[in-house]
Amino acid sequence: MTKKAEPKLLAGGNPQIAKGDGDAPVQAYIAAIPGWKRDAAAKLDKLIEKTLPGVRKAVKWNSPFYGAPGQGWFLSFHVFTKYIKVLFFEGVKLTPEPPVGSKDPNGRYFHITEDGAIDEAQVADWIRQAAKLPGWLKH
């Protein structure tokens, strides 16, 4: 029996997962996240699914991506040492805007820290708003 290789962890504990479409690569990414960030990412993933049933998922550039059918990608997250950075690609169009700016003038972030606390109602509202906007279409 051949032992399956564990995903390599990049800087900050971000898993190196092959690009792929669908839920399976996203779940593999989440499963490979170390420590408290795994539970926080799983909670975020469930909130996205609950808020937007039928959400499109993929892993690209070692990050999960979420999209609305026909609208492109609206959200992605990435694991860093002390937090998970959650990006809304068109975050400047959300009300209120997520709190952290981006190098991209359209993007806005919020961070999930070790306490794992997020304002689920606010995040769900951002998800609903973002899913209605034309998203990021780069494949």
The confidence score (pLDDT) of residue 56 equals 96
Residue 92 lies inside a defined structural domain of this protein: yes
Structural domain total, the chain: 1
Residue 137 lies inside a defined structural domain of this protein: no
Residue 4 lies inside a defined structural domain of this protein: no
Whichever domain contains 44, its CATH number is 3.90.1150.200
Residue % of the chain over a pLDDT of 90: 79
Residue 136 lies inside a defined structural domain of this protein: no
Q: Can you tell me the distance from the alpha carbon of 59 to that of 92, in angstroms, rounded to the nearest whole number?
A: 24
- What is the dihedral sign for C-alpha 104, 118, 58, 94? negative
Cβ–Cβ < 8 Å for 59, 18: yes
> If you search the block for the tokens 């990006």, which residue do you land on?
87
| pLDDT for residue 1 is more than 70 | no
> If you search the block for the tokens 């609903």, which residue do you land on?
128
Cβ–Cβ < 8 Å for 129, 51: no
Residue 6 lies inside a defined structural domain of this protein: no
Residue 3 lies inside a defined structural domain of this protein: no
| pLDDT for residue 139 is more than 60 | no
- What 8-state DSSP symbol labels residue 65? E
Q: Can you tell me the distance from the alpha carbon of 26 to that of 129, in angstroms, rounded to the nearest whole number?
A: 22
The confidence score (pLDDT) of residue 33 equals 95
Residue 89 lies inside a defined structural domain of this protein: yes
Could you tell me the residue range of the domain that residue 22 belongs to?
12-131
Write b or e for each residue in 122-131: b if 16 or more Cβ atoms lie within 10 A of its Cβ, otherwise e. Answer: ebbebbebbb
Q: Can you tell me the distance from the alpha carbon of 122 to that of 108, in angstroms, rounded to the nearest whole number?
A: 14
For residue 129, the SS3 value is helix
Residue 88 lies inside a defined structural domain of this protein: yes
Mean pLDDT, residues 100-125: 95
| pLDDT for residue 94 is more than 60 | yes
